[in-house]
Amino acid sequence: GPNPCLHQITTSICYEYSRRSGFDGTIKLWDSRSAECLATFKPPLPPSTQDIAVTSIVLLPDGMDQILVCTKSPQAFVMNIQGEAVSMLQPDRSKLFKPKDSKDGEEVPLPDFVSATLTPKGAITYIAADDGTVLCFTGSVHTRTLDAHSKECVAVASHPHQNMIATAGADGTAKIWKTNH
């Protein structure tokens, strides 16, 4: 039967590899022809941190050399297929929305990441967060935040040919956003 810990599978027709992400905090690189596991690795997390779910994996458009790994934490990583982190994406507190019930002077909590997508050329990364927002990154720099949903934003996808993204929320809504990428 289906594995309840399997969250996402990403495949590429051009290459003979599949990548699997799961709630056990691992990323597995598979040969899709032989079904052989070629590598298993985890995103770099502080040593004191227990396993954090890998919630999304996105193949970078320049080939199979790098992947964007989204974790159920306020961090995402660009990693190579050897399991080494190339860069890290994390929120800039000054670009986050304050919770509606927060008081002045309170620190804005960092949202956990849920899902990620890239623009077709990979210039902009959009990351759905558990606070209902979508964080926009150019490279590893957090450039803006969209107030997308009243509950957790569970998915984000980029249109392959037009300047649009789609989001889905735990509030039961799906939205289309025009972007300027």
The closest alpha carbon to 136, from 123, 153, 149, 154, belongs to: 123
For the segment 81-108, the average pLDDT, to the nearest whole number, is: 82
pTM, full prediction: 0.82
d(CA 77, CA 65): 14
CATH number for region 52-178: 2.130.10.10
Q: What CA–CA distance (Å, rounded) separates 21 from 25?
A: 7
pLDDT, tens digit, for every residue of 28-41? 888 888 888 888 88
Q: What is the pLDDT of residues 79-91, one digit of tens each?
A: 998 899 999 999 9
Give the Cα separation of 147 and 93 in Å (integer).
14
